[in-house]
Amino acid sequence: MPTDTRVALPAQRLLTDHRLLAGHRLFVALLLLAAALRVVTMLAYRPATLYWYDSFTYLDTAVHPAPSATFHPIGYPLLLRALLPFHSVELVAAVQHIIGLSTGMLLYAVLRRRSAPGWVAVSAAVPLLFDASFLRLEQAVLSDTQFIFLIVAGLAVLMWSPRLSVRAAAGAGLLFAAAALTRTIALPLLLLVVLVLAVRRVGRRPLAALVLAGALPLAGYAAWYAQHHGRFAISGADGVALWARTMTFADCARIQPPPDLAPLCPNGTKVDAASEYVWAPGASLNRLPGDHFTYNDQARSFAIKAILAQPLDYLGHVVRDTSIAFSWTPIPHPDRTTPAFGFRSGHWELPDQPLIDKVKREYDPDIRGLSSVSPYADFLIAYQYAAYLRGPFLGLILLLGAVAAVRRPRVALLPWAVAMGLLIGPAAVLDFDHRYVLPVIPVACLAAALAFRTGDRKKFRGSGRPADSTTTELRQTTAQPTHSKPSQVTAERAELASCP
């Protein structure tokens, strides 16, 4: 007698779900271990890492929302404002650790969706989940963790299905706009994403939806910025940053700037990194009267003239600084920074600044200097030397991503291009910083993992779930006798979710 489908179909779903869970056991185990590491980090360093002056500027903007005239747009302060009722920077750190774990889950999910083998998807998420640099970053009141999540989420939405829908394109546009309002380096990334999708010929409607969804929030913020600062812009420091970039090579004898820009020429002040010119008291921009950010437009004009007059010098310095990312032993750049192995024992007092006192009163009365706590800090101090992605390995990951982009351009070209944009972009518009390399790692791992795929394109059905021998046997069991009408599963079997 034929099997009752009312009994067989639930059994089929139960067995299939069980096999699906079994296929993700390794990732679940690693995710739990990564969560435990983050708990140890919170116990080891209390209350959270606070940097002068970035962290306190973010916290102050969260209490008094307004577009910043310097380097910090509104995206990250909005997250801090959402947590303001709890008045706890420790909660901020906890939320950021959860965001870090969520980013790892996104990486794994999109790779499995795009037919990557389980071990490959797990391996791609390992650096983000276990590198000690990410643990330190998530424990600090800085925008980077949110920025990384938004970039990975935007890519995940664009890559989730082989055919890009208008809705997915619009969602990705909003995510990249949010990333640009978190860190302005995502502005050129949005243009890069549009260019890659145009080359892939995803269609006019999805491309238009992406552009529109990305442009509207940015235009709204620029209009808000204009109300406060009198100019339609996202940032009031882009020109100053690019000017600082040119100070490492600018030769005014070759640039021949007009008289109004001549005071911005190098004046003999030497620092150890381009970004230091922004704050160096002796730098030509900082010797002008008033706040140096009021000269942002003039600084941009000077920088563009310098780059056009000395394009090879500009490219050489960008390449030289970017290459620091591939050194085996992390090179401090600038010298005052700690590029890696930053977990230490001790207590670090906050500087005596009026802004810090204000943030204590308004955001978290318990804000204090960072203190390490044994034995948790002792464990992390030892752990960080093994759990660090060395520069040559990052180079290999990017090289493997380039191979994937050539072999599978419809799926791998986009994340690889974004990874390269994240790597080169900061050095091109300001300077290299090891902290700016961290967003490159998960995106580069995403691209590299796409060089691998399951051999059978028909393993993944339209639902995105793998078809295996067990489910095949169950379909045969639930099939109707030969004399009855065909089962209504033809359309379902015809769907195919394997990537092109």
Inside any domain, residue 379:
yes
Structure tokens at 296: 């942002």
Q: What angle do CA 115, 120, 126 make, to 5 degrees?
A: 130
**Hey, CA dihedral for 334, 149, 33, 43, is it positive or negative?**
positive
pLDDT on residue 454: 66
Is the domain of 256 the same as that of 122? Answer: no
Inside any domain, residue 149:
yes
Is the domain of 160 the same as that of 258? Answer: no
- Which of 26, 34, 22 has its CA nearest to residue 102? 34
pLDDT on residue 478: 40
Q: What is the total count of domains within the chain? A: 2
Inside any domain, residue 251:
yes
As a whole number of angstroms, the distance between CA 441 and CA 303 comes to 30
Helix (H, G, I), strand (E, B) or coil at 161: coil
pLDDT on residue 35: 98
**Hey, CA dihedral for 384, 390, 396, 398, is it positive or negative?**
positive
Is the domain of 30 the same as that of 105? Answer: yes
Inside any domain, residue 195:
yes
Is the domain of 54 the same as that of 193? Answer: yes
Inside any domain, residue 307:
yes
Helix (H, G, I), strand (E, B) or coil at 485: coil
- 207 CB neighbour count, 10 Å cutoff: 19
CB under 8 A, 24+ apart: contacts of 407-411:
407/451, 408/450, 408/451, 408/453, 408/499, 408/500, 409/200, 410/162, 410/200, 410/499, 410/500, 411/114, 411/159, 411/162, 411/450, 411/499, 411/500
Is the domain of 253 the same as that of 397? Answer: no
Q: Is residue 169 within 8 Å of residue 203, measured between CB atoms?
A: no
Is the domain of 219 the same as that of 77? Answer: yes
Inside any domain, residue 261:
yes
What is the span of the domain harbouring residue 197? 25-230+328-411+429-449
CB under 8 A, 24+ apart: contacts of 311-318:
313/249, 313/251, 314/245, 314/246, 314/249, 316/249, 317/245, 317/248, 317/249, 317/274, 318/424, 318/427, 318/428
- Give per-residue pLDDT as tens, 6-63: 555 555 665 555 565 667 899 999 999 999 999 999 999 999 999 998 999 999 999 9
Is the domain of 293 the same as that of 341? Answer: no
Three-state secondary structure string covering 228-288: HHCCCCCCCCHHHHHHHHHCCCCCHHHHCCCCCCHHHCCCCCCCCCHHHHHCCCCCCHHHC
Inside any domain, residue 362:
yes
- Give per-residue pLDDT as tens, 111-136: 999 989 999 999 999 999 999 999 99
Is the domain of 222 the same as that of 249? Answer: no
pLDDT on residue 238: 93
Is the domain of 217 the same as that of 345? Answer: yes
pLDDT on residue 115: 87
Is the domain of 372 the same as that of 292? Answer: no
- Give per-residue pLDDT as tens, 188-202: 999 999 999 999 999
pLDDT on residue 12: 64
Which phi and psi (to 5°) does residue 412 adopt? -100, -20
- Domain end: 322, 353, 375, which one? 322
- Domain end: 322, 353, 373, which one? 322
Q: Is residue 155 within 8 Å of residue 46, measured between CB atoms?
A: no
Structure tokens at 22: 């079994």
* Residue 301: partners with Cβ closer than 8 Å, 6 or more residues away: 239, 261
Inside any domain, residue 76:
yes
Q: Is residue 426 within 8 Å of residue 90, measured between CB atoms?
A: no
Is the domain of 41 the same as that of 97? Answer: yes
- Domain end: 297, 322, 347, which one? 322
DSSP labels for 95-123? HHHHHHHHHHHHHHHHHHHTT--HHHHHH
The maximal CA–CA distance of the chain, rounded, in angstroms, is 96
Instruction: List the chain residues with pLDDT less than 70.
Output: 1-22, 454-500
Is the domain of 342 the same as that of 313? Answer: no
